[in-house]
């Protein structure tokens, strides 16, 4: 099953510290430019705080608190830990952070329709929806999702963001379930074992 920490490591490469680009709609709450920090948009922070956030609230948001919000609001709520392929989970989670829950739900639905494996929009990230995603060819699903996201970026007609968006997408690679990416945590243990055996011989 997919792990939040691996997906978040990728998101962390794209979502650094505080920024308040006035062209980014996610930086505003009720018309006030608040900014974004660690991937947490102004409306998301407002929901977490239960009130309108200030610039100070956003600037002082810690990475630990941001990751707690992301894990609770995006990863756990959308059952992403039940996805069987880490690469698919990485792509969907990053998409939810970047496009928003509804936006990524719509793009996933679009990708499934392109694969001729449709799923009702509202069911996409339910437990049943995740089961449907797991039943599909994971490599085909990954690239269908990636294409849907790339097409969305291009359709937004925001050339000043496009290169960064596509670079963000390009960082997310496909690895099969039995790939090196799936076993990397045990590689140090294997290497230590080889060294021990070598010394014993």
pLDDT at 132: 98
pLDDT at 111: 98
Tell me the C-alpha distance between 191 and 184, whole Å.
11
- Tell which phi-psi region holds residue 196, choosing left (phi > 0), alpha (psi between -120 and 50) or beta: alpha
Output phi, psi for 36, to 5 deg. Answer: -135, 145
CATH code that applies to domain 4-18+61-200: 1.20.141
What would the two tokens of residue 130 be? 């995740």
pLDDT at 16: 81
Q: Model confidence at 199, in pLDDT bands (50, 70, 90)?
A: very low
Kindly report, residue by residue over 10-42, the tens digit of the pLDDT: 999 999 889 999 999 999 999 999 999 999 999
Sorted by sequence, the CB contacts under 8 Å of residue 176 that are 6+ apart come out as 85, 138, 139, 182
pLDDT at 21: 95
SS3 content of the chain, % helix, strand, coil (to 5): 65, 5, 30
**Residue that the structure tokens 């989670």 belong to:** 93
Mean pLDDT to the nearest integer, 128-142: 98
Kindly report, residue by residue over 147-179, the tens digit of the pLDDT: 999 999 999 999 999 999 999 999 999 999 754
Sorted by sequence, the CB contacts under 8 Å of residue 150 that are 6+ apart come out as 166, 169
Sorted by sequence, the CB contacts under 8 Å of residue 106 that are 6+ apart come out as 121
Kindly report, residue by residue over 186-195, the tens digit of the pLDDT: 344 334 444 4
- Which pTM value belongs to this model? 0.86
What would the two tokens of residue 193 be? 């074992």
Sign of CA dihedral 25, 29, 32, 35: negative
Write down the mean pLDDT value for the chain: 90
Helix or strand or coil: residue 27? Answer: helix
């Amino acid at each position: 099953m997919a792990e939040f920490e691996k997906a978040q490591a990728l998101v962390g490469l794209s979502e650094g510290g505080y920024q308040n680009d006035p062209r980014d709609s996610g930086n505003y709450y009720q018309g006030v430019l608040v900014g974004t920090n660690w991937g947490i948009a102004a409306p998301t922070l407002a929901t977490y705080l239960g009130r309108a956030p200030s610039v100070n609230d956003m600037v002082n948001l810690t990475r630990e608190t941001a990751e707690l919000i992301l894990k609770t609001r995006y990863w756990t709520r959308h059952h992403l830990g039940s996805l069987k392929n880490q690469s698919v989970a990485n792509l969907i989670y990053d998409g939810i952070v970047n496009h928003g829950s509804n936006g990524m739900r719509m793009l996933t639905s679009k990708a499934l329709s392109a694969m001729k494996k449709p799923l009702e929009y509202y069911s996409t990230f339910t437990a049943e929806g995740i089961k449907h995603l797991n039943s599909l060819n994971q490599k085909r699903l990954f690239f269908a999702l990636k294409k849907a996201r790339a097409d969305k970026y291009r359709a937004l007609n925001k050339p000043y963001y496009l290169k960064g968006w596509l670079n963000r997408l390009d960082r997310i690679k496909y690895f099969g379930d039995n790939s090196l990416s799936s076993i990397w945590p045990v590689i140090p243990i294997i290497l230590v074992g080889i060294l021990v055996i070598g010394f014993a011989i």
